[in-house]
A and B are shown apart, each in its own frame.
Chain A
């Protein structure tokens, strides 16, 4: 419990907003007039989104309240409602930002000149490193957002579809591989997801990059066959060792 909560509880909503205003003036340079409004709004927005991810990570989205978010962000309730409709809206905005960031990085490693397996490995590696470096967002994006349902779940699903499309480029000749079900790519992604989410729930988010060899194995095997998938997996392992 923060020290000033009981004080705040005794005051009206209006006064709470004032108090929140004080807190955020401490964080920002004084004299709001010197700063262009969008700059302030941008940083407040960012603070709220970070606070959202942090609170979600510690107590789950369901138990998170607006009061938790504004307190962790050091903004007023009024500011929150200027920027977001409700906590679902805030989660969606946070999800949108995380997704755009992740996809941007993955697209960066994508190149038609690279062999498919190398591209998949690099994309997986980038993704795991991103998650490891931002544990709160990892938890929010992979666990809380899909659990919240609605548009957050839709966004999560659309992110998976992009990855799946990337994977499905590994299908070389449709005739040759006709025995492989069309769900093979989706299954491979779900397999990787299970492993990643398990690590996050176990509190090992920072060790996610170590999963690379296993993930390379499971996502390439439907397309390349077992021998080649094992070879790719060993290569990924070597890559990690060389770096260590």
Chain B
């Protein structure tokens, strides 16, 4: 939650609305974050200017700089916000099931549905984010990292789970995001939902081996 700056606290409520400043600023921030993801997805990170962002969000330059230091800080916040929402959706779907392979399938299905619904932002989140510089690249890795605990529940489910490499969850997550990125680069975002069985196999194989993974994937088609 952004705090009002010192020296501005004593100003009377501005304009017609008379809303507390924090509420206004919070609302403006959300609009700005939403506009940032939309505009950067459209134009690319490099060519996007602060003016594009303020215009897209319908806020003033002054307000922009009250909220963020520069374009990069704004983009990173927008990215984190989008990742937060996506992770929450995935976790909710994941938790509707009991057995780990079913949980994984539900989570992956939700992820694919969310990405297919907004191909431009999906591409930004998975592919073009890398072009926004080293800080953004680390944010992307951190986002993938947030999903690894879900993958690692496979360790409790798998018969020999304890003896598996410590990096199994990272690798399974890497396979999933890598296969998704391949589709996005090839401009096949609309077909993402059909990737479900490949992603499920890529997730399960790291913990269960190919035969059990293929059996679980096959359950779906019955």
Does A136 belong to the interface (CB within 8 Å)?
Answer: no
The reply to whether A233 and B165 contact each other, CB–CB distance below 8 Å, is yes
A142 CB → nearest B CB, Å: 11
Of the listed residues A153, A180, A221, the one surrounded by the most CB atoms of chain B closer than 10 A to its CB is A221
Which of the segments A1-9, A42-50, A99-107, A195-203 contacts the partner chain? Answer: A195-203
Residues from chain B with Cβ under 8 Å of A223 in the complex = 210
How far apart sit A201 and B141, CA to CA, in the bound complex (Å)?
A: 9
Residues from chain A with Cβ under 8 Å of B210 in the complex = 177, 179-180, 184, 221-223, 225-226
> For chain A, what secondary structure do more than half of its interface residues adopt (helix, strand, loop), or is it mixed?
helix
The reply to whether B179 and A183 contact each other, CB–CB distance below 8 Å, is yes
> For chain B, what secondary structure do more than half of its interface residues adopt (helix, strand, loop), or is it mixed?
helix
Contacts A63-B133, A143-B130 known; A195 to B175 CB distance under 8 Å?
no
Residues from chain A with Cβ under 8 Å of B174 in the complex = 190-195
The 8 A CB mask of B81-101 against A (1 = contact, 0 = none) is 000000000000000000000
The reply to whether A218 and B185 contact each other, CB–CB distance below 8 Å, is no
The reply to whether B214 and A198 contact each other, CB–CB distance below 8 Å, is no
Chain A, residue nearest B160 (CB): A226
Does B206 belong to the interface (CB within 8 Å)?
Answer: yes
Residues from chain A with Cβ under 8 Å of B197 in the complex = 181
The 8 A CB mask of B155-191 against A (1 = contact, 0 = none) is 0000010011111101111111111011001000000
The reply to whether B201 and A187 contact each other, CB–CB distance below 8 Å, is yes
How far apart sit A24 and B144, CA to CA, in the bound complex (Å)?
A: 45
Does B202 belong to the interface (CB within 8 Å)?
Answer: yes
A176 CB → nearest B CB, Å: 11
How far apart sit A183 and B186, CA to CA, in the bound complex (Å)?
A: 15
The reply to whether A191 and B131 contact each other, CB–CB distance below 8 Å, is no
Residues from chain B with Cβ under 8 Å of A148 in the complex = 131
Partner of B175, one of A188, A211, A214, A225: A188
B3 CB → nearest A CB, Å: 31
The reply to whether A62 and B209 contact each other, CB–CB distance below 8 Å, is no
Residues from chain A with Cβ under 8 Å of B167 in the complex = 195, 211, 214
Residues from chain A with Cβ under 8 Å of B134 in the complex = 59-60, 201
How far apart sit A184 and B181, CA to CA, in the bound complex (Å)?
A: 15
A88 CB → nearest B CB, Å: 12
A180 CB → nearest B CB, Å: 6
How far apart sit A62 and B165, CA to CA, in the bound complex (Å)?
A: 36
Interface residues of A in 81-116 (CB under 8 A from B): none
Does A230 belong to the interface (CB within 8 Å)?
Answer: yes
How far apart sit A229 and B164, CA to CA, in the bound complex (Å)?
A: 10
Chain A, residue nearest B208 (CB): A226
Does B150 belong to the interface (CB within 8 Å)?
Answer: no
A241 CB → nearest B CB, Å: 16
Residues from chain A with Cβ under 8 Å of B168 in the complex = 214, 217-218
Does B42 belong to the interface (CB within 8 Å)?
Answer: no
For this complex, 10 residue pairs linking A to B, each with C-beta atoms less than 8 Å apart, are A59-B134, A60-B133, A62-B46, A63-B133, A184-B201, A197-B141, A214-B166, A214-B171, A221-B206, A230-B164
Known: A157-B185, A183-B202, A222-B205. 6 other contacts (CB 8 A): A147-B137, A153-B185, A190-B174, A214-B168, A218-B175, A230-B163
